[in-house]
Amino acid sequence: MDMEYRIDYDSSADALYIRIREDKIVDSIEITDKIIVDLNDKNEIVGIEILDFSKTKIDLSKLIIEGIETVVQMA
């Protein structure tokens, strides 16, 4: 299933947010101290926030090609 991600970067907070779907966020899970996953009421990923993004090793082009699952592996 192809997804269109919306990516927003807040330079003052050095935080990147990857929005996967436009659903309402009902829960958030802290995967690491720098990665937070937002979930909808069906436990599906709505978005992922990456804190201190400029200090991570996440390659956005690889993320887009290989999928969202690579975020945690590259963090």
20-29 pLDDT per residue, tens: 999 999 999 9
61-73 pLDDT per residue, tens: 777 666 666 555 5
Confidence of residue 11 (pLDDT cuts 50, 70, 90): very high
User: Contact 50/35 with Cβ under 8 angstroms?
Assistant: yes
Please give the single-letter amino acid code of residue 36. Answer: I
**72 SS3 class:** helix
pTM as predicted: 0.78
15-61 pLDDT per residue, tens: 999 999 999 999 999 999 999 999 999 999 999 999 999 998 877 77
